[in-house]
Structure 1
Amino acid sequence: MAIAGKNLKYLRKLRGWTQEEFATRLGIKRSLLGAYEEERAEPRTEVLEIVSDIFKVTLDDLLRSDIGEGSGSNYLSKRRQLKLSTPGQSIIPFVPLKAAAGYLNGYGDPEFVDELNTFTLPMVASGNFRAFEIVGDSMLPTPSGSVIVGEKVEDMEAVKNNQAYIVVSKTEGIVYKRILRNNRSRAKVTLVSDNPVYEPYQLAMEDIMELWAAQVVITKVSPQQRYDVTSLSHLVSNLQEQVNTIKKKLPNA
């Protein structure tokens, strides 16, 4: 049943699921799914039945046919064809925080990128876009946990001074910063945080692997603080006490 494991991997990647996501849908551990895909173990019949229901394929096809080869093209070409089939709208791969380390190793691997979850945005036209989850308070008021949608910068000469970018580099990993070009030296750029607590620092151009110009910031809605009558009463009382204290310290007119 080695072909079954190969078919599981093909179908998972065709749908764009990670092993963790697919294993959750199948009700098994990710490590077991990995064993199936690497042909170190044979998929159980009940697992194949779930796969059959999800993808509307027969058990006989899963067990006897190479679905990828039989369909005339591999999963990568199918995924790319699917992405190109949405006119005027970009399919945006999403790099969550948990995938950041893997992205640094596999950013240039089409197979790795095709495993990332994707989404579309009505305000984003066609182009090469990618979304990154950021963490930390260095770009406040953009809060930690926000998702930055960036458009790929192919030429460093197109970088605009003081604009925000997702910078993927060998030394700093994935960071969200504003870029200042150094007129004296084109070998380095200065990365600046919106939060003034953080000092600017320089980064060598040769360390930059990818650059994405920030286009859209997606953040969670923060619950607005509400005051009830009692809270407002306490607030007013405190203000009155502060005013009275100040008056007592002032010299008599």
Structure 2
Amino acid sequence: MKKSKNFFPGNLKFLRERKGLTQQGLATDLELTRSKLNALESGQTKAPAPEDFLAISSYFGISIDSLIRVDLRTLGELKLRELEAGNDVYMRGGNLRVLAISVDKGNQENVEYVPIKAKAGYLSGYNDPEFIASLPRFSLPNLPRQGTYRIFPTVGDSMLPIPGGSDIITRYQDDWTALKPDTPCVVILSGQQDFVFKLVTVQAEGQLLLRSLNPIFEPFTVPVGEVAEIWKFHAYTSKEIPEPETDLQQLVRAVRDMQLEIKGRKR
């Protein structure tokens, strides 16, 4: 039985402290008692009254859905300002939404595996908790406590020396603008009904540059509007031992890097 996380208590305290308010100060503004506000922040009130949700949502300018289901502490300042301005859209693509997850009996997030046969279904069900709950689920050791992880299989040899058929362990990337150039990521492309494993660079003109590790493959760009999700590379598993690059591959890579550097200087 899947169980959704409730971030409301932590979000309420975070938003109050972000505004530099004491509990008494916020309670006065909301026309609540300090003890009631303290109970809301500490999670002692399991079912807050609808009017309290409405008052808090109106006060901070953030939707009730986001207050409950999005961990606001993980968002950057720019996205918080976007929320407060009434714009529930991530900058440079990606709607602000709740990431569907599944949890184990201890209420710890699972690591879902998206098999090749589920590729098409993932594009239509990636934000559907029932679909996510239907995926194979694992608990992997040594993963950081913070973050949501998912495993995607690779096909082809565009990311050699990481061989095709590897399983890529990834972490959900909600802030695309925080990606450093050439960050390896699995990118979910809604326009192409596919996901790809590439080196990702966010460009100022609203495009993502996607580049392969294998220099034989040409880099290409996609509009951020075609990107549904980005999952940052964490690790991979494979039955094959990667082979070193050949001299030709190293030469092609050097030429490709030089071309990209020259192209960047001309902008």
Q: Equivalent of 1:179, from 197, 200, 210?
A: 200
Query: 1:87-106, aligned counterparts within 5 Å?
Result: 90-106=109-125
Q: Conserved in 2, the CA contact under 8 Å of 1:168 and 1:211?
A: yes
Q: Which residue of 2 aligns with 1:52?
A: none
Q: Which residue identity does 1:165 align to in structure 2? A: C
Cα distance in 2 for partners of 1:161, 1:223 equals 24
Please say if 1:201 is aligned against 2:220.
Answer: yes
Q: CA deviation at 1:111?
A: 0.3
3-state SS in 1 of match to 2:121: helix
3-state SS in 2 of match to 1:82: coil
Q: Which residue identity does 1:135 align to in structure 2? A: V
Q: 1:137 to 1:84 in 2, by over 3 A?
A: same
Deviations 1:217-236 (A, max 9, x none): 11114599xxxxxxxxxxxx
* TM-score (norm. length: structure 1): 0.52
Deviations 1:30-65 (A, max 9, x none): xxxxxxxxxxxxxxxxxxxxxxxxxxxxxxxxxxxx
Please say if 1:107 is aligned against 2:129.
Answer: no
3-state SS in 1 of match to 2:170: strand
Q: 1:80 to 1:199 in 2, by over 3 A?
A: closer
Q: Which residue of 2 aligns with 1:210?
A: 229
3-state SS in 1 of match to 2:127: coil
Q: Which residue of 2 aligns with 1:129?
A: 149
Cα distance in 1 for partners of 2:111, 2:120 equals 19
Q: Conserved in 1, the CA contact under 8 Å of 2:184 and 2:232?
A: yes
Cα distance in 1 for partners of 2:223, 2:165 equals 27
Cα distance in 2 for partners of 1:129, 1:83 equals 18
Q: Equivalent of 1:164, from 177, 184, 196?
A: 184
Q: 1:81 to 1:131 in 2, by over 3 A?
A: closer
Query: 1:214-253, aligned counterparts within 5 Å?
Result: 214-222=233-241
| Off by >6 Å, runs of 4+ in structure 1 | none
Q: Which residue identity does 2:150 align to in structure 1? A: R
Q: Which residue of 2 aligns with 1:116?
A: 135
| Identity value in percent | 34
Q: Conserved in 2, the CA contact under 8 Å of 1:83 and 1:91?
A: no
Q: Which residue identity does 2:215 align to in structure 1? A: P
Cα distance in 2 for partners of 1:106, 1:81 equals 17
**Structure 2: gaps spanning 5 or more residues:** 3-100, 244-267
Q: CA deviation at 1:150?
A: 0.8
Q: CA deviation at 1:155?
A: 1.4
3-state SS in 1 of match to 2:120: helix
Query: 1:10-159, aligned counterparts within 5 Å?
Result: 14=1, 80=102, 82=104, 84-86=106-108, 90-126=109-145, 127-159=147-179
Cα distance in 2 for partners of 1:83, 1:210 equals 27
Q: CA deviation at 1:85?
A: 3.4
Q: 1:205 to 1:148 in 2, by over 3 A?
A: same
Cα distance in 2 for partners of 1:223, 1:195 equals 12
Q: CA deviation at 1:81?
A: 5.3
Q: CA deviation at 1:83?
A: 5.5
Q: CA deviation at 1:158?
A: 1.6
Cα distance in 1 for partners of 2:200, 2:242 equals 32
3-state SS in 2 of match to 1:102: helix
**Structure 1: gaps spanning 5 or more residues:** 1-13, 16-78, 225-253
Q: 1:83 to 1:104 in 2, by over 3 A?
A: farther
Q: Conserved in 1, the CA contact under 8 Å of 2:199 and 2:212?
A: yes
The alignment of Structure 1 onto Structure 2 pairs a total of residues equal to 143
Cα distance in 2 for partners of 1:81, 1:136 equals 32
